Each structure stands twice: as C-alpha cells, then as structure tokens.
Structure 1
Amino acid sequence: MALAGDQNWWRGGVLYQIYPRSFFDSNGDGIGDLPGVTQKLEYVASLGVDGIWLSPFFTSPMKDFGYDVADYRDVDPMFGTLADFDHLVERAHDLGLRVTIDQVLSHSSDQHDWFKESRSSRDNPKADWYVWADPKPDGTPPNNWLSIFGGSAWKFDTTRQQYYMHNFLVSQPDLNFHNPDVQTQLLEDVEFWLRRGVDGFRLDTANFYVHDAELRDNPPWVPGTHRPEGAPKENPYTRQMHVYDKTRPENIAFLQKLRAVMDKYSGSTTVGEIGSDNSLATMAEYTSGGDKLHMAYTINLLESPLETGLVRDMLKNVFDVLGDGWPCWAVSNHDFMRVASRWGKDKGGDNDARLRMIPALYTSLRGTPCIYQGEELGLEEAVVPYELLQDPYGIEMWPEFKGRDGCRTPMPWLNANAPHGGFTFGDQPWLPVPPEHSALAVADQTDDPNSLLNFYRDLLAWRKSHPEIINGDIEMLENLGGDVIAYARMSGVVRTICVFNTTPDPVTVTLPGQSEPNCPFATGTVAGDRLTLPGWGFYFGTI
C-alpha cells in the first residue's frame, strides 16, 4: 500500500537518490543490492528527506547498468527478488519515506523478449514495436540521427534487412511510440509497480519517447547559437539540432495518458528527466496544466559551472517560463560529475563553507530538491583509471570524456580502516572506493556534530519549519551589489530572503529592507539593511 498522509508531499518534499549497485552490498559479491538499501533506510530517514528515488534494479544484461531493461516487471537477481523489493517498500513506508523508482520507457534491452520477437521477421505480432526503417538505396542508414553514446543512431539487422534506431547503446533499441499497443503495454507495466505500493516514478529521458514518423534529417547546429544539451561538447551529438529524433509534439499525448494512470493512485508522482535543445521551455511545457508530469528537472544545474551570472540568469529564466509547472532541482546524480568537484572547487577558499553553501542554495529554491547519495558527505568525483572503467560511454569517449564511473563509486559507510569503506565485506567492489572517500565515511561524520553530514540534517530540519521555503512563491532579487545569488521566498505575510556568496571572497550587499536572521547556522551578519557574507557564505532572514 502507498503511504498515507499529505498527497501533495512531492511539492517541496526532498528526494534522496539511491544508485543501488553502489549503495550497500549485503551479500559480499561487490555489488549493492535491494536488501542492502533496506538495511540503510534508517540512515536515509535520519537525513530528514521525504522520499527516495531508486535507480534501475530491473532484469537486465547490464550493458548500461540497468537502463537497458529486459523485463519491466521483475528484479535482476544481482539486486535480489520481488519479495526483497516489497520488503524495501514496506520498510521505507514504516520510516515515513516515499518510494519512487526509475522507469526507462523510451527503449529496452535487445535481450527483451519483445525485441527478440520484433527482429525475427517483418510480419510477426511485434514487428512494429520498435523503430525499424529500410536502408537508403546505397545501403546507408535512413537519416543522419546520432547516438548519444557515439556513432549513428541506427544499427543494421541482417535478419530483417533493416536498420533499427537506438538513441543510446546499440543494445538499447528504441520502442515505437507511434504504435498504440506499445503505449498500452508500457502503461500496464507502470501500473504493475503502483499496485505494489510505489509512490512515483523518475522517468528516464522523458522527452525521447516519440520520434519523427517521417524520419527527417536533423539540421546542423549553428555555431554561435545555444549548443544542444544532453552530451559533453566533445561528443559529435552536439553538432546537430535535435528537432526530429526527440521532443516531438506527440510526446505530450503519451504523458497525458501516463498522468491519467497516476491520478488513479492518490499521492503518486512523476519527475521527468529533460534533455532537449531548450530544456527550460520543455520542462515548462511538460509540467504545466496539471495533466502531464508532476515535476521535471533539466541538466542545466547538473553540468553548469558555478558562474554567478550564468546560474542566476538560468534560475530567473526557469521561474519566468515555468508558470504553474513545478521544477525538481538536482546538482549531482549518477550521470554527471559530482557537484563537490564541479561547483567552485577551482576558486579555492574555505572548502567546508563551499560545500555548505551549495545545498543551502538549491534546497531553498522553489521546487523539489533531490540529493544524490554521498553528496551529504562531500564526496568529490572519483578518479577511476581506464583499466577499471565500467561505463561504456566513458570507454567510447576516452580520454576527453571519462564517462560516469567517477560519480558512481560506492558509498563509504565505515572509516579508512575498513576495507572498501565498509561498502562490501567481499574481496572487491564493482568500482573502487577511493581512500579520500573512506576518510569521509558516514560513521565518522555521524559522530562529529560539526560534520557536513550533520549540517545536511540541520538544514533539512530547519527547512521543514519554514513553509515559505517548502512551497511558497519565489522572487529573484537583483542589483544588491556583489557577486551573489539572491531571492525571496514568500508564503502569506512571511517573507524570507535568501542570499548566497558564490565566491571565496567576503562581500557586503544592500538588502531591500531591514532583516532579522531566522536560521541559526547561516553565516551572514546584518546591520540594518547591510548584509556581510564571508567567502562561500549564505544568509536566511525575515524581511
């Protein structure tokens, strides 16, 4: 059964992303699993979050670590069983945690029974369940679409004598959403998990579902214009404007069907991953009107540097275009460099202050924050040598882009004296645990009242006592002077001003009125309408 209580919990609630294979290994095989997640749920609840997001645990050949699904209704044996999943949901609900899980609907594994049948002939019952197309007369692919993971988005199949489309790995064929039977089947698979008590879904590549039925070529990117999003600049994928291979208008109709299913289950929610050529506009379109996604996030904060003007302008653009839509905020996840290495590390100054300012900023924005496992410990991007890489993306794009393994290394639970940071009692974890991560282990930080981990706990507890921060309105503040990001959060007559120094140098700014601090661990000091912040400082106050 789903968890009772506030059915709009997701509006301003805090999610905690768990990458199961790197969270906790309960059986010593070097890979995290669902029983391991269950064992650590009490820790997650102690942070003060409202729910978890579980990355994929479905049956899969693991070519893309579970984002290549071979059975949408079962658990891969390396992670456990359906009974283990049910126990996880029950334990999470006992602790007051909602459970959202990944749904990878745009594509499946080539080992899925659907694809095996589809590729067997041109006239079988599932022949049109995937995106198939004839070669051009010269034998080349049907159009110029590219795979994010390198090369053409088309792979020739010798049995059908046709190409099939794959936006990602060759082993991840795209499902054909122009076939209504495909949509019906996927919606039934979604409902399978809702009936098991799941509270929501994180929708992988939510704007990739529908392709252009005419298979028209994408136009080239025009230098000097906004670079296409969704891949590092070294990837040829960014040399096209992705007009026809994704973010098609027909995508909206499927999201509306999905929302109708979700609305049958009170308190359920969806958060979509958006990676388009204009992600902010797409996020606004996909979350508006109350009939599509509940919320969505873009990759903007996940890949941007901490340049004050850039981040400030991006936030302003979000709130200018979003209307009644609802954003989800993530600054780290399993696909992008950890924020501790990316946001401001090169600027120097007090590193501990920097790592506190970052969550203070993104958890006080209007929207739903999502914390990625280990972020609360201050984990930086791990350096994984080429010979130990697991990520096919990194192996393909080495050395300019080293892939995603550096943000996926296992959680350190015990201190540096414990093998592999206490993640596993086996011989080797699937990715190495860097010594510098073990030095930041949960056990040590729990015992230190001044640790970053306990700061996260204090921050989220403070946040819960301020309704204007959870779901109030927001007004971006400009022209305060200094290199700061500032906004006001408002609910009724309550107005809290939030100011963040995004540099290592002290700064003094002029507030739009006199203010009284309302957060005991904020680092700014006020005198009338003058606010002084230390390097990487932040301030919350009533105004």
Structure 2
Amino acid sequence: MTLDGRVIYQVDPATFSGPGADAGLDGVRRRLEHVRAVGADTLWLQPFYVSPYRDAGYDIVDHHGVSQRFGTMADFDDLVERCHQLDLRVVVGLVVQHTSTDHPWFRSARDDPASPYRDFYVWAAEPHDDEVVKKPVFQGVEDSIWAYDDHAGRYYRHAFYRHQPDLDVGHPRIREAIAGIVRHWLDHGVDGFRVDAVPHMVRQAAVTDSRDDGFWFLSELADAADGAPLLGEVDEGPSTYPEYFGNGDRLTGILDFWTNNLLFLALARSSAEPLVRALRAQPTSPEGCTYLNWLRNHDELNLSLLSDSERDEVMAAFAPDETMRAFGRGIRRRLAPMLGDDVRRVAMAHAIVQSLPGVPIVRYGEEIGMGDDLSLPGREAVRTPMEWSKVEEQDLRPGSLLSRVSQLVHRRRGLGPLRPGHCDALSFGADAVLGLLHHRADGPVLMMINLSDDQVCLELEYDVRADLLADREYEPAGSGVVLGGYGYRWLRVR
C-alpha cells in the first residue's frame, strides 16, 4: 500500500456506528458505505484491542486480541474483508510505548523480581529526572512520571497515565514481541499502522543502543512491517522530521503536528502567514514518504509547538473559557463549535487540509460539523457518538457541510498525489489568502483559500486553463480572480 494520493477517514469503533448495541466492529462494517460516500479510500481504526478502557483503548492488556466490547476476531476479519471489497485500505493503531497495568507482563513483572518480564518495563529505586521523559504528558492530572508499586517495592515510569507503565522498547525481547504484534495483524489483512508516541520510543531505544540516536528502532520496525506503511505520531518541530523518515526506511508518513498547530493560528488570525511559514519550514520528504494533515484528532488539540503568545491567541479565539482547555496546552473542543458552527468557515478549514501537500485525514463527524460535550471529563468531550441523524439530514440537502466536504475529498483524490516538495506556498498581497501551487506531471494546480469573511480580488501571474472546484459560482477566472468570504477555488494553470 502506498500513501500517495490517499485520503484517510479516522474511526473510533466505540462511537462511530452509534451508542449501545450498534457500537463495535460489526457496526463499523455496516457503515462503510458512508466512508466511501465521503470519498476516503483508507480507514484508520482506533484501538479495538483487549483493554480495561481507562484511556479509550490505549491502555492495552492483549495486543493480539479483540476486546469483547467491540466483537470478535471473526468480526475484525469480516470488517477487513468488506473494506477490501470496497477498495478501502485498513490502518490500525500500533500502541507499544506502554501497556496497561493489567497486562500479564506487568503483573508478572511486579510480583516476581526474577520474572523474565521485570526488564520489560522501566523501574527505579527512587524518582529522578529522566532523559527519555522530561515531564508528565498529562500535567495537572499526573504530577510525576514515576509511580510506586507496592508489590515490586520500586517505582515504574509512565509518560502518560499512571495506569500505563512504559515499556523498555530497546530490550531485545520487547522488540521481538513488537515485531510479532505487527506480523499478527498483517496476517489478518491489515494494510498499515498508525504508530503511537514515536519520539518517546526512539529516545528509550537510544538508552539501550545510542546508534543513530535511537532511530535504528524505526528502521527495525519498518523491517517488521515488511513494506506496510508506518504513520508516526511525531509531536515535534520540523527540524527533527528528516531523522524520522531516514532514507525512506523508517516512517512512511509523519503526522505533522507543527503544521496543525500553525493551521489553527492561521484560523485564529484569519491570516495565511502561519501556514505559509509552516510549509516553508517543512523538510522535503524522501521518495515514497509523506506528511499527514488533519483538523481535529481524537483527543485534545495540542498547541504545545506554538510560542506562549501564539498559544494565547488561539486559546482566546477558540477556547475562551477555562473549561474548554486541557492540560494547560490544548483545547478539548470539536472543530465546528470552535468556528462558530459557520458552515462556510468549517468548509473553508476542510479546504485547507484537502489542499495541503501530503495525505489528508478526516475524523468521523467532522464532515457533518459534529459538536462536543463539555460536560464530559477531559478528552471525552470530543469522543461522542457519531450523529447519524445529522448525516441523513445533510445527505438530502444541497450545499450542506457533508456535501461540501465530500466534493472536496472526491476532487482531491481525483487529482492524485500532491507531494511535499512539489508545492509552493504563495503570498498574493492579500494576507487572508493562502495560495498553494502544486507542480504535477500533467500541469500545475493552484489552490486558493480565503481565511477571512471579506471578499477579496486577486491578480494572478498564471494563465488559467480550467476551474476545478469552488465553494460557489464565480465568474470564469482570468488574470483576476474573486474569492468570497471563507471561499476557496482550485484552478488548473500554466
């Protein structure tokens, strides 16, 4: 499976098909026609593994099994088979930076100092500063990266919640186990993996073997994947990205948090400058590798890559109330409420992601402008069930957000790959307009998005061959182009 030219649809099996009896893998299988109708050709399935489910399934007890709350292995196999019948590829989460404290490995490790699993985890006699994990990821919820275990009489490290002890991924037996997990799901028809918490694992691998600063771990993981793409969660700045790609022999795709952070700064300012800055700082990816872009993911909108003043701007615009914020650095709201439930503005934000070089991701519910539930604790506010009645209503209404997003996705896929390194971020003298000139084998495509509510008129230095897509009816493009408020327009040009 290659990532080039694909559009990914992200699904949580706990909430996508609906609440109660409809939830689970079989429910996802029965809703796949919607994924195809939106226009995506790849399904990213969030964790469905055996888990006590204290952290939406990211606290795993058995990496090889399917949780009873979601069905059986037969249900998973049926889902993959149906996806492939619909020409949908399947990506699943690879969550191996930590386990649940209920995992048999950890229970054995804590109960017996001589257990072969004792070395699977990171232990200490006393809490201390750690070179791998500087501070808790969930500050305000966890006040330390160390938790004391009465059975072991020692402290174990946890980058995330205290019920998620960190694995020593540099340990040879852990690496063998991870490779076995990858092979297991490949044998069940999976086409790729979304790899969780990649920087933490690279730093931990370097403790065992400092070669290549621990990035050898990703090369080894890619070997285990045997050509299946690895989509890595890399919550770092762009200067580090080349190491994660290697020579095309490590991660296949990087989830680009840098660009995502600056996208929301651009939305807050109604200015293209932050996105132009992001793209000009983005290293060219090796052949066969790419970046992944999205609007909202499955937890908080993490703004930690912005400066303090930039983060304050975005918070003031989209999370003015403290109850809308998370961990002192992020926002726990869905996209549509942040943008005032303005269909034009939400569609414009989708147009940005569909225009960026790389691979776009649509999270379930974003195509219909789903809201959040701030009465729920923490990140649960954005993990509410898919609103299928809203899908049915928008299906029947021309000009709905669903119809606009579907049009964007279908047209994007029809253009084929829009590769990083083959795109110029342009300034038109109109600060609100983002211009992206994609250089392609069959001729360049110019994509323009107006981040403001004001109409703008632009003078182009290109000969327009054809209008490909627009948010509304416009006069045929010539040397001058009009964009309405929150408008977007894609043109073939010379």
TM-score (norm. length: structure 1): 0.77
Structure 2 counterparts to residues 270-419 of structure 1, below 5 A:
270-276=230-236, 278=237, 280-303=238-261, 304-305=264-265, 306=267, 307=269, 308=271, 309-318=273-282, 320=283, 322=285, 324=287, 325-336=289-300, 337-342=333-338, 345=339, 351-380=342-371, 382-385=372-375, 388-389=376-377, 394=378, 404-414=379-389
- SS across alignment from 2:111: coil
Task: Give the Cα separation in 2 of the matches to 1:499 and 1:321.
Answer: 22
Instruction: Decide which structure has greater helix share.
Output: 2
Shift of 1:20: 1.1
- SS across alignment from 2:200: coil
- Indicate yes or no: 2:396 matched with 1:447: yes
Structure 2 counterparts to residues 175-254 of structure 1, below 5 A:
175-211=167-203, 250-254=213-217
Structure 1 stretches of 4+ moved >6 Å: none
Q: Which runs of 5+ in 2 are unaligned?
A: 301-332
Comparing 518-527 and 441-450, the one that deviates more: 518-527
Shift of 1:443: 0.8
- SS across alignment from 2:355: coil
Task: Give the Cα separation in 2 of the matches to 1:81 and 1:495.
Answer: 48
- The change in CA–CA distance for 1:288 and 1:341 in structure 2 (over 3 A counts) is farther
Shift of 1:213: 8.3
What corresponds to 1:530 in structure 2? 480
- SS across alignment from 1:518: strand
- The change in CA–CA distance for 1:520 and 1:487 in structure 2 (over 3 A counts) is closer
Shift of 1:249: 5.2
Shift of 1:211: 4.1
Does the 8 A contact of 1:211 with 1:248 survive in 2?
A: no
The one-letter code matched in structure 2 to 1:312 is: V
- Indicate yes or no: 2:223 matched with 1:260: yes
Shift of 1:502: 0.6
Does the 8 A contact of 2:99 with 2:166 survive in 1?
A: yes
Task: Give the Cα separation in 1 of the matches to 2:414 and 2:297.
Answer: 27
Task: Give the Cα separation in 2 of the matches to 1:20 and 1:170.
Answer: 25
- The change in CA–CA distance for 1:384 and 1:32 in structure 2 (over 3 A counts) is farther
- The change in CA–CA distance for 1:95 and 1:214 in structure 2 (over 3 A counts) is closer
Task: Give the Cα separation in 1 of the matches to 2:206 and 2:29.
Answer: 47
Does the 8 A contact of 1:258 with 1:292 survive in 2?
A: yes
Task: Give the Cα separation in 2 of the matches to 1:332 and 1:164.
Answer: 32
Shift of 1:406: 2.2
Does the 8 A contact of 1:18 with 1:55 survive in 2?
A: yes
- The change in CA–CA distance for 1:163 and 1:541 in structure 2 (over 3 A counts) is same
Task: Give the Cα separation in 2 of the matches to 1:106 and 1:310.
Answer: 32
- SS across alignment from 1:297: strand
**Superimposed CA distance per residue, residues 2-31 of structure 1 (whole angstroms, 9 cap, x where no aligned partner):** xxxxx42x11200000011111148x35x7
What corresponds to 2:330 in structure 1? none
- The change in CA–CA distance for 1:77 and 1:359 in structure 2 (over 3 A counts) is same
- Indicate yes or no: 2:145 matched with 1:153: yes
What corresponds to 1:496 in structure 2? 445
Shift of 1:110: 0.6
What corresponds to 2:117 in structure 1? 126
Does the 8 A contact of 2:7 with 2:413 survive in 1?
A: no
Does the 8 A contact of 1:60 with 1:109 survive in 2?
A: yes
- The change in CA–CA distance for 1:213 and 1:159 in structure 2 (over 3 A counts) is farther
Shift of 1:323: 5.5
What corresponds to 2:48 in structure 1? 57
Shift of 1:288: 4.0
- The change in CA–CA distance for 1:213 and 1:474 in structure 2 (over 3 A counts) is closer
What corresponds to 2:154 in structure 1? 162
The one-letter code matched in structure 2 to 1:124 is: S
* Number of equivalenced pairs: 447
Task: Give the Cα separation in 1 of the matches to 2:163 and 2:351.
Answer: 40
The one-letter code matched in structure 1 to 2:148 is: F
- Indicate yes or no: 2:462 matched with 1:462: no
**Superimposed CA distance per residue, residues 353-384 of structure 1 (whole angstroms, 9 cap, x where no aligned partner):** 2122222221122111110001110223x133
Cα RMSD for the two superposed structures:
2.5
- The change in CA–CA distance for 1:406 and 1:159 in structure 2 (over 3 A counts) is closer
Shift of 1:302: 4.3
Shift of 1:339: 2.6
Q: Which runs of 5+ in 1 are unaligned?
A: 1-6, 216-243, 395-403, 415-440
Does the 8 A contact of 2:469 with 2:491 survive in 1?
A: no
Shift of 1:471: 8.2
- The change in CA–CA distance for 1:249 and 1:118 in structure 2 (over 3 A counts) is farther
- The change in CA–CA distance for 1:517 and 1:538 in structure 2 (over 3 A counts) is farther
**Counterpart among 443, 467, 482 of residue 518 in structure 1:** 467
- The change in CA–CA distance for 1:480 and 1:512 in structure 2 (over 3 A counts) is farther
**Superimposed CA distance per residue, residues 503-535 of structure 1 (whole angstroms, 9 cap, x where no aligned partner):** 111112222223244224344556532222111
What corresponds to 2:311 in structure 1? none
- Indicate yes or no: 2:74 matched with 1:114: no
- SS across alignment from 1:21: coil
Does the 8 A contact of 1:271 with 1:293 survive in 2?
A: yes
The one-letter code matched in structure 1 to 2:190 is: V
**Counterpart among 4, 12, 18 of residue 11 in structure 2:** 18
Task: Give the Cα separation in 2 of the matches to 1:316 and 1:204.
Answer: 26
Task: Give the Cα separation in 1 of the matches to 2:81 and 2:442.
Answer: 40
